[in-house]
């Protein structure tokens, strides 16, 4: 099963992905985590992208698609499922994902949209700033991340709606309630 989690910063993609991959034995693929690790390890890519992440802008598709190709291709077929968190972020990345899955004789099963309003997203990111000290968790950068989501990622909702793959879940419930709803949904897919 191949699942994409879509939603703005603070919608709970990472939180839910952690719970889902453990329960269902899926492979959790978070481009944000991978990129932050590259920065932390000061790799060549890490040095190139640090200022872009800290400005709340998207990293180039070329770098992202290369990372996805490297980390996913060999794993296709070896896991019960894949959970994409933070990828795809725009239409070109969505097409790259389709191509990659086709090559591995796989198709995208579903897209789970977690929706939260901006006020809630801001509140959560302010809280996480104190806990995790992510460099991009400050008010100005968050504004840029939200704008990028609206301009570049939100069009994916229409794209996946047209493919009948979009499933919306209210991300403004408790973590547990959101998780129960997602688990039920995944189980219902497994049974069809
Ligand atoms: P990325 O790491 O993907 O960040 P993001 O999309 O901005 O999302 P967040 O991680 O901030 O939020 P989340 O939805 O995961 O929420 P979380 O579960 O943490 O990307 C970072 C950057 O990397 C991008 O800006 C870009 O530069 C680059 N990048 C990444 N992918 C890329 C790509 N494909 N292409 C190009 N560039 C890319 O929750 C947030 C907080 O809320 C936590 O404290 C959590 O405990 C809390 N919380 C969660 N759920 C609830 C709930 N239900 N109730 C109350 N609190 C909750
Ligand atoms: Mg995240």
The protein residue with its alpha carbon nearest to ligand 1, atom 17, reads: 12
Candidate of 4, 5, 8, 13 to mutate for ligand 1, largest count of ligand atoms within 8 Å of Cβ: 13
Question: Residue 190 falls within a domain, yes or no?
Answer: no
According to DSSP, the residues that pair with 115 across neighbouring strands are: 170
Residues 6+ away with beta carbon under 8 Å from 117: 172
Backbone angles phi, psi at 83, to 5 degrees: -120, 110
What contacts 24+ positions apart, CB below 8 Å, involve 162-165?
165/108, 165/109, 165/110, 165/111
The pLDDT value recorded for residue 74 is 86
Q: How many domains does the chain have?
A: 1
Confidence (pLDDT) at 8: 98
Q: Residue 127 is part of a domain; what is its CATH number? A: 3.40.50.300
Q: Residue 144 has what pLDDT?
A: 98
Which atom in ligand 1 lies closest to the alpha carbon of residue 87? 34
Q: Which domain covers residue 161, as residue numbers? A: 2-181
- Across the strands, what pairs with 57? none
Sign of dihedral through CA atoms 140, 143, 149, 151? Answer: negative
Which two tokens mark 20? 């889902």
Indicate whether residue 55 lines ligand 1 (CB < 6 A). no
d(CA 61, CA 184): 33
d(CA 48, CA 59): 9
Strand partners, 170: 115
Q: Which atom of ligand 1 is nearest to the CA of 52?
A: 27
Task: Please check whether residue 68 lies inside any domain of the structure.
Answer: yes
Amino acid 3: pLDDT:
98
- Is position 90 within any domain? yes
- 170 falls within a domain: yes
Does ligand 1 have an atom closer than 6 angstroms to the CB of 67?
no
Question: Which residues are within 5 Å of ligand 2 (an ion), measured at CB?
Answer: 13-14
Query: Is residue 188 domain-resident?
Result: no
Whether 54 shows a pLDDT value over 80: the answer reads yes
Average pLDDT, the chain: 97
Ligand 1: nearest atom to the Cα of 128? 44
User: Is the residue at 113 inside a domain?
Assistant: yes
**What confidence tier does 159 reach under pLDDT thresholds 50, 70, 90?**
very high
The answer to whether residue 58 is domain-embedded is yes
């Amino acid at each position: 099963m191949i699942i994409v989690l879509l939603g703005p910063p603070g919608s709970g993609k990472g939180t839910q992905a952690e719970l889902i991959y453990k329960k269902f034995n899926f492979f959790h693929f978070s481009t944000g985590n991978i990129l932050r690790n590259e920065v932390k390890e000061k790799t060549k890519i890490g040095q190139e992208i640090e200022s872009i992440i800290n400005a709340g802008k998207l990293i180039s598709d070329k770098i992202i698609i290369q990372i996805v190709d490297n980390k996913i291709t060999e794993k296709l077929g070896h896991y019960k499922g894949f959970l994409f968190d933070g990828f795809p972020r725009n239409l070109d990345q969505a097409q790259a994902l389709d191509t990659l899955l086709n090559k591995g004789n796989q198709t995208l099963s579903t897209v789970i949209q977690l929706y939260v309003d901006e006020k809630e997203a801001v509140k959560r990111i302010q809280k996480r700033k104190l806990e995790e000290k992510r460099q991009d968790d400050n008010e100005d950068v968050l504004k840029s991340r939200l704008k990028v989501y609206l301009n570049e990622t939100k069009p994916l909702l229409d794209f996946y709606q047209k493919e009948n793959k979009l499933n919306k879940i209210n991300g403004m419930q408790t973590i547990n309630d959101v998780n129960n709803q997602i688990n039920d949904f995944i189980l219902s897919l497994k049974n069809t």
